[in-house]
Amino acid sequence: MNYKNYEFYFRSSIFYILPVTVYSILRVYMMFKLQNILSLSTALLEGLFFSGLVFGWPSMSSVLESAGYFNYLCDNDVTNATNVSVSNITTTTTCKLQQEQISLVYTVATLALSFSTIFNGFMFDYCGTWLSRAVATILFATGCFLMFTSSPSSSLLLFPAMCCFSVGGILMLITNMQLGNLFGQARSSVITLLNGALDSSSFVFLLVKLAYDNGFSLTSIFQFMAICSIFQILRTFLLMPRTHIPFPLPSSSYKYGIHDCGCGKDDPNTAEATDKLNGETDVVVDDGDDISCIDCLKTVHFWSNLFHMSVLQLRNYFFLATFTTWLRTLLPENDDSQFTLYLSAFGICQFFGVVTSPINGLLIDVSTKIFKRETDSDKLASSQAVCVSAFATCILGVIFSIVVSIPSLPIQYLSFVLQVVFRSFLYGGNASFIALLFPGKHFGRLYGLTMTLAGVVGFLQFPLFSLVLWVFENDFTIINVVFIAVCALTVIHPVTLYMSCKKKLSVQPTHKQPVEMQLLTANA
């Protein structure tokens, strides 16, 4: 009897469920167009393997310590890493100076990422997608070249190499986030998903560590990664627009990518009209076109979001930069097996950023539909939805900081999970905030300015780490308690934004006015 039931279920899955599933997938493809699906799926792959490598620094720093980078700074028995075989150099030969210098590499790379975003934003806004992505690809390939030519005797090459990875990676993300414009009401979900892919790419350095531990040299690893940059070149010209993707889309027949190369089979007049529309994206379709970038910078919301982003990003940066040192303080001395176990567990958790990030986008999209019942304004509903996302991010930051401050090793598995979810909410929420509350034509500049100014605050991670090393003698307790309090203060951002939205709902405008201008003028 049981056999017949199983056979029935099997036949049902083959002859009924499978065709229905295939039909549903085909309907999605037909609804959003095959090119749109391919653009998004390949953008996810690009984000997973190229965009945010530097955020996998805990795994990479372990490899660099084992390889003997900056080991010449130490006063112990291994004074010159170039005269000792790599196999004889283990994590036990590290010293405070070496740890500090390796942490400085990460600090400089994240600072370069933050400072470059304002220039990346201007480049994207004024030069378009193809040129921006060409620069990003060159930077990634250059970073790979510097890595496979570096050695412990040329440890300083790590600084420009990691800067190339971080700057090129964030530029790829900026060019990819416009793909959210292709998916209408799911725009926030797509933006947060792409940010999550960048977060998950930190697991690539875990793969580098596993390959290195199994006998592969850093030279061969990064040579292979340099060859993979061909993928970025192909999708630039086949699946990305020459300039920008407008929002909302001008028509269902909007074309980009390979059609911009002149390789499509469309009528020349149609292609010319499409190119003209692409070149005038923001002028033709953008709402609130009279709002300047300066007007956006005069709002309270922009600066409260900047405070929110700066503090919470510092919390995240400090955790990643000091991860190996912090982890060793919780482990018995020279317990390399448990160190490797927890480091690998953290690296694996990093991969799931692409899974957790859509939760934030879904939260924004669903909240927007709920708040839409109170107002006919899409922008006002989106603003209230962003409040929910920002508040959730604050709570996650506080809970994460509390768990990290608990001196119990097993409970830190929970901190690994919380860090991934918290980071996904932070970066995806920041991008969604700028995309939803401000005109699309200013996205690159506003996003770049936010990340740049937040990066200035993020530089504090290095002096804080030096304070822990030399003053507190590897005791993270005081710093963690301070982070709990400071993260709690970031609730100012969602509260002020929500109060502004409630004020707008209670006051009926006497004349028709773009909602962007209503939000901006109320908080200038």
Residue that wins the pLDDT comparison between 214 and 440? 214
Average pLDDT over the chain, rounded to whole?
Answer: 78
User: Is the model's pLDDT at 264 over the cut of 60?
Assistant: no
pLDDT digits 0-9 by tens, 453-469: 888 888 888 888 888 87
Q: What is the pLDDT of residue 221?
A: 93
* Cα separation values, 120 from 44, 267, 387, 431, Å: 20, 34, 27, 15
Q: What is the pLDDT of residue 85?
A: 39
Look up the domain containing 170 and give its range.
38-247+286-522
* Cα separation values, 398 from 104, 412, 487, Å: 26, 15, 6
Whether 341 maps to a domain, the answer reads yes
Range from 102-106, 138-142, 282-286 carrying the lowest mean pLDDT: 282-286
Q: What is the pLDDT of residue 437?
A: 84
Q: Hey, CA dihedral for 130, 131, 137, 141, is it positive or negative?
A: positive
Q: What is the pLDDT of residue 81?
A: 39
Whether 279 and 130 have beta carbons less than 8 Å apart is answered as no
Going by pLDDT thresholds of 50, 70 and 90, the confidence category of residue 269 is very low
Token reading at 60: 């990479």
pLDDT digits 0-9 by tens, 167-214: 999 899 889 988 888 887 777 788 888 888 887 888 899 899 889 989
Going by pLDDT thresholds of 50, 70 and 90, the confidence category of residue 398 is very high
Residue 460 sits in a domain whose CATH number is 1.20.1250.20
Going by pLDDT thresholds of 50, 70 and 90, the confidence category of residue 75 is low
pLDDT digits 0-9 by tens, 34-49: 778 888 889 989 988 9
Whether 255 maps to a domain, the answer reads no
User: Is the model's pLDDT at 509 over the cut of 80?
Assistant: no
Q: What is the pLDDT of residue 391?
A: 94
User: Is the model's pLDDT at 25 over the cut of 50?
Assistant: no
Q: What is the identity of the amino acid at 385? A: A
Q: What is the pLDDT of residue 139?
A: 94
User: Is the model's pLDDT at 434 over the cut of 80?
Assistant: yes
The pair phi, psi for residue 77, each rounded to 5°, is -65, -30
Q: What would the mean pLDDT of 438-458 be, rounded to a whole number?
A: 83
Whether 265 maps to a domain, the answer reads no
Whether 32 maps to a domain, the answer reads no
Place of tokens 């929970």: 414
Whether 143 and 165 have beta carbons less than 8 Å apart is answered as yes
Q: What would the mean pLDDT of 286-290 be, rounded to a whole number?
A: 49
User: Is the model's pLDDT at 371 over the cut of 50?
Assistant: yes
Rounded CA separation 9/174 (Å)? 46
User: Is the model's pLDDT at 272 over the cut of 60?
Assistant: no
Q: How many domains does the chain have?
A: 1
Q: What is the pLDDT of residue 14?
A: 44
Q: What is the pLDDT of residue 290?
A: 61
Could you tell me which residues come within 8 angstroms of residue 439 by beta carbon, excluding any fewer than 6 positions away? Answer: 282, 286, 287, 288, 289, 291, 296, 516
User: Is the model's pLDDT at 234 over the cut of 80?
Assistant: yes
Q: What is the pLDDT of residue 263?
A: 52
User: Is the model's pLDDT at 30 over the cut of 60?
Assistant: no
Whether 28 maps to a domain, the answer reads no
Whether 24 maps to a domain, the answer reads no
Q: What would the mean pLDDT of 498-505 be, rounded to a whole number?
A: 84
Token reading at 90: 């283990």
User: Is the model's pLDDT at 82 over the cut of 70?
Assistant: no
Whether 153 maps to a domain, the answer reads yes
User: Is the model's pLDDT at 2 over the cut of 60?
Assistant: no
Whether 172 maps to a domain, the answer reads yes
pTM of the model: 0.70
